[in-house]
Amino acid sequence: MPTNVTIEFELPIGYEDSNGILHTTVVMRMVKNSDTVAIQKDINLQRYAKENLEINSKNPVSAMRINSQMIEMFSLLFSRVIVSFGSLSKEQINKALIADLYQNDMNCLMTHYAELNGVDIESAQRILEGEEKDPLP
């Protein structure tokens, strides 16, 4: 893989596995069309994109639901674009593991994802926080 399509960085907190090993070093690659297609195929996310066009984000329950769906979307995306995460195997890097990370680590992933893929970080952060519409078409 060409070096210009990956970035290595440290998470501020990291993930502690069941053996007590702390994993903080992440290598992330650029997003591919196949990653976007995989996310679009996720039925729950498609339903979210359609249903939430009319949701009032000022409603706390709706805002929590939007944030939950966005975390699920980014967890799936990050599980695909993270090439390595400490000494975890690629099979261990899944959306459940990513969704279980601390918010500081999710923010770090989002920042590096945006940097690597030329995404406006403020817009990406608003999406993650549920303040902006789903980025998927």
Query: Which tens digits make up the pLDDT trace of 92-131?
Result: 999 999 999 998 999 899 889 988 888 776 666 555 555 5
CA-only gyration radius of the chain, Å: 15
Q: How many CB atoms lie within 10 A of CB 82?
A: 19
pLDDT at 121: 66
- Answer whether 0.75 is exceeded by the pTM: no
Q: Which residues of the chain have pLDDT under 50?
A: 53-57, 60-64, 66, 134-137
pLDDT at 56: 47
Nearest CA-CA partner of 70 in 3, 124, 119, 31: 124
Over pLDDT 70: what percentage of the chain?
Answer: 65
pLDDT at 64: 47
pLDDT at 49: 54
User: What's the 3-state SS for 70-114?
Assistant: HHHHHHHHHHHHEEEECCECHHHCCHHHHHCCCHHHHHHHHHHHH
